Chains A and B, each alone.
Chain A
Amino acid sequence: MAIAALLSKKINRPLMHRITRTDEYGIGAARPGFQGYIKMGFRADGKLLAADMYLVQESGPHATAGDFRAAGNALTMMYQPEACKFRSVPVLTNTVPMGAHRGPGENQFAALVEPMFDKAAKQLNIDRIAIRRINAPDNNGKIGKERGPLTSAFQKEALDKAAEMFKWSDRKKLSGQKTGNKVIGVGIGQGYHSAGTNGFDGLLRITSDGKLHVHTGIGNLGTYSHSATARVAADLLNCDWENVVIERGDTRKGLPFNSPQAGSLSASTQSRTMYAAAEDMKAKLMDIAAKTHGGQPADYVLGKEKVTHKSDASKSLTFKEAADKAIALGGKYSGKEVPDDLNAITKQSVGMIAGTGLIAAAKDNLPRVGVTPGLSVSMAQIELDTETGKFEIKDMICVADCGTVLHPLGLGHQISGGNVMGIGMVMERHIYDPKLGIPASVGFHQGKLPTYLDVPVEVGWAAVEKPDPQNPIGVKGVGEPVLGSGASAITSAIADALGGHLFNRTPVTPDMIINHLAGRPPAHKPLQVNTV
């Protein structure tokens, strides 16, 4: 992206930067692999008392990925061990550049470690949900070596809801059932990624036609988060969605300094900034109403696209009237003056739209203490063919601890899509010739993305629907964890189908399964990160 932007700037014209999959291995970034050692000690009831993990990461030539660190944090967060030791060695390698992919570190970790909880459950003779539940974080959960706080965690509730939705008590009886050459495996996976931050700016504008313009710097990765989060402002200002104009995608429209659409941040972070800007807009509407009709701002309440005096309904001010008044009043109402604490980008953007309506611009100064965790639980049932090493995912569900549901359809797509990516993590091979330095996953043939025929017809989904107390709307992000829970539900189901055999890796491809079933040694060697 930077190359395209620089070249475009140089020639002062739009520019399309087209690269091939081969080029991408030179200037893009692959997800780093790591090798690890983990030892876990459990109490008889399944509580994880101590964990010791050591990772060696393939970091590529530029040391640009901190996945190993995130994996360590995930260990402290997802299972809340009473004692934990974590060391890692990121190694510079003569491979393609590495970088953060979805759920960097946490998702590789989940896919590898979740099946080990099944192993522990089996040895302790306790239920696989129960061992996860006793270790799952709650609102008192801690993270990292500093044992920092969490804004909220409802993973136990997510496990309960998933168990009910998946009919776990019936489903677990299917584990290992054989029909001819087919054997059933059921798996549970959990995912975690920090999913929210704060400190960005919200920018709203009401114009003389009565429209509410939501200026947003949130991009669009196909999730339409810019619209989902804009609804927060529309709802808080009691504005019909039809009267909302979303200003996005072009800095000439005057866009504020917002969270990047990355790191599962958009929903939580942008809902906060929308809240901050909407509160500013509300205050200004009441100010103008008081200036127009007399009394104090507090005498007025927000109604349907207008503010009205609490005791005299004849004293009201519509959005349209407020916009005209704001233009006349100038100053902070029309954007001629801006709060000092806004980011320079926001100040510049407000300057671009100043005088065109009633403008609200505010920094999200709301308190937030601790990490905002996005959490999820996936469950899957597979049918594994013991003669071919292939498996079919017969059923899959996922429950997200994402706080208040901001946009049900959007959330459903996030959850289904993330789980499909998780399936891809289990199935997709990473082919690299170490001698010649050839990254060979250069086409869709070698880089085998899951297709419709590789995934379940439907991924059932639900949300815990418990609001995060540190977000004014209650929202937490959830984009990335569902990949990890999806992947780990599948690795757990494979291990279950094979009577507890752990591959301790991703991907798990048919050759590995059939080698195991045939009593052959695995083809990949120890410390071999890439598949063959």
Chain B
Amino acid sequence: MIVKDIMPQFDLFQPTQLKDALSLLDNYGKDAWKMAGGYDSLVWFKERIKRPKAVIDLSGIAEMKGVKETPDGVEIGALTNLTDIERDPVIKAKYRLLADAVSHVASPQIRNAGTIGGNASQDARCLYYRYGLPCYRAGGNTCFADTPEGINREHALFESDRCVAVSPSDGAPALVALDAKFVLKSSSGERVIGTDEFFIGPKVDITHLTSTKPEEILTAIRLPKTWANANFYFEKVADRNTWDFPLVNVAAAMKVQNGTIQDARIACGGVSAVPRRLTSVEQIIKGQAISENLAKLAGQSASRGARPLNYNGFKIPLMENLVMRAVRDAKA
């Protein structure tokens, strides 16, 4: 029996400047592991499944921490911990959706150390992948979850392509609903991308859930003014009320005038490899007065195209109900 609770050896680097961290990435390339709060990383290491040559601990880089207002909205340092985001006065006042979402992540202790960048970038929780089996996501050539007897209660309803793992993040759907932009830096420059480009499914890259390149660091997340002070709704359903990943979650931002929805962005987590933006629902509700019937219609539309596996069919009514509630109950 393999003892799986002792980390393998690696070189640990603790840069305090972003440029030094980027330089280390250039040196080590794919052999480097970028670590923020460590709550995903350390489990991988202790399980001896991920064995990087070098670990770049980013937590000492002060320039990647904090929330600041900008002419276009706010910029959140990727290393800002989730508790700080939950309590930040600007986030609470203007982007309450994100504060709500991160307040549902894991447990208070984990939120004190877990970062928004890490939360958005966290890896899949598929039990087979986490068990260290050679599945597609781990670089192998099979999926152990999508089989007649595979344990796939927590897996994807949509856009599966060989791998059926889902995005387990609570923060990510809120970032999609708020139309966040992701600032990725490397020693050769910077790129700023939207959520549709940042979060990627297995069709794009089956071994990653984000498009961050090995030589890049996610340094900040920007929230545009567009969705500040909108009506918001976040809800997460998990087996347990704390320290758990979502079975399904929903995040909605809606601009409402005189009871009519002018514009909306809605996303669900736990149903596909990316936080799934529900564009068809958005189209249906735009220009419509909020009502029970509209909410029901929105819910029913949310699950269109779902392809349940053996054990995750319950996610269809759950997703429908959560979207219905989001449309019905979103508050300013």
Contacts and interface: CB of A to CB of B under 8 A. Distances in A.
Interface string A1-43: 0000000000000000010101100100000000000000000
B147 A515 contact: no
B241 A453 contact: yes
A523 B149 contact: no
A439 B152 CA distance: 14
Contacts of B322: 387-388
A433 B321 contact: no
Contacts of A390: 237
Interface stretch (A124-132, A350-358, A411-419, A444-452): A444-452
Contact of A436 (B1, B4, B144, B318): B144
A431 B242 contact: no
A440 B127 contact: yes
B3 A388 contact: no
Contact of B151 (A433, A443, A511): A433
A429 interface: yes
Contacts of A443: 43
A20 B314 CA distance: 32
Contact of A438 (B131, B147, B318): B131
A172 B233 CA distance: 35
Contact of A532 (B153, B241, B242, B243): B153
Interface in B1-31: 1, 3-5
B1 A26 contact: yes
Interface in B297-331: 310-318, 321-322, 324-325
B1 A23 contact: yes
A20 B5 contact: yes
A509 interface: yes
Interface in A434-479: 434-436, 438, 440, 442-446, 448, 450-454
B317 A431 contact: no
A22 B4 contact: yes
Contact of B314 (A427, A445, A451, A511): A511
Interface in B116-141: 125, 127-128, 131, 133
B247 interface: yes
Given A440-B127, A510-B239, A532 B311 contact: yes
A56 interface: no
A429 B239 contact: yes
Question: For B144, B150, B241, B316, which residue has the most chain A Cβ atoms within 10 angstroms?
Answer: B241
Interface residues of A, number: 43
B153 A511 contact: yes
A446 B153 contact: no
Interface string A217-242: 00000000000000000000000000
Given A450-B240, A532-B151, A517 B1 contact: no
A389 interface: yes
Interface string B152-164: 1100000000000
Nearest to A25: B1
Contact of B247 (A26, A387, A436, A510): A510
Interface string B211-243: 000000000000000000000000001011111
A440 B317 contact: no
Interface residues on B, range: 35 or more
Contact of B131 (A440, A510, A515, A531): A440
A184 B269 CA distance: 29
Contacts of A442: 131
Interface string A506-529: 000111101101101001100000
A486 B104 CA distance: 28
Contacts of A432: 151
B95 interface: no
B153 A523 contact: yes
Given A26-B1, A429-B239, A448-B239, A520 B311 contact: no
B263 interface: no
B244 interface: yes
Nearest to A434: B149
A523 B311 contact: yes
A433 B242 contact: no
Nearest to A455: B241
B244 A445 contact: yes
A218 B180 CA distance: 60
Contacts of A524: 311
B60 to A, nearest CB: 28
B199 interface: no
Contact of B241 (A26, A445, A454, A515): A454
A511 B247 contact: yes
B172 to A, nearest CB: 18
A152 B55 CA distance: 64
Contacts of A429: 239
A510 to B, nearest CB: 6
B131 A388 contact: no
Nearest to A511: B314
A22 B243 CA distance: 20
B198 interface: no
Nearest to B235: A388
A390 B322 CA distance: 12
A182 to B, nearest CB: 13
B321 A451 contact: no
Contacts of B151: 431-433, 440, 532
A451 to B, nearest CB: 5
B245 interface: yes
A118 to B, nearest CB: 25
A531 B312 CA distance: 12
Contact of A433 (B43, B150, B244): B150
A446 B130 CA distance: 11
Nearest to A519: B317
A387 B153 CA distance: 18
A509 B239 contact: yes
A108 B316 CA distance: 31
B300 to A, nearest CB: 12
Contacts of B311: 511, 523-524, 532
18 contacts: A22-B1, A389-B237, A427-B240, A431-B127, A436-B133, A451-B107, A451-B240, A451-B241, A454-B240, A454-B241, A510-B237, A510-B314, A511-B312, A515-B314, A523-B311, A524-B311, A532-B151, A532-B310
Given A432-B151, A445-B243, A453-B240, 16 more contacts: A387-B321, A387-B325, A436-B133, A445-B125, A448-B244, A451-B243, A453-B241, A509-B239, A511-B311, A511-B312, A514-B318, A515-B317, A518-B316, A523-B313, A524-B311, A532-B153
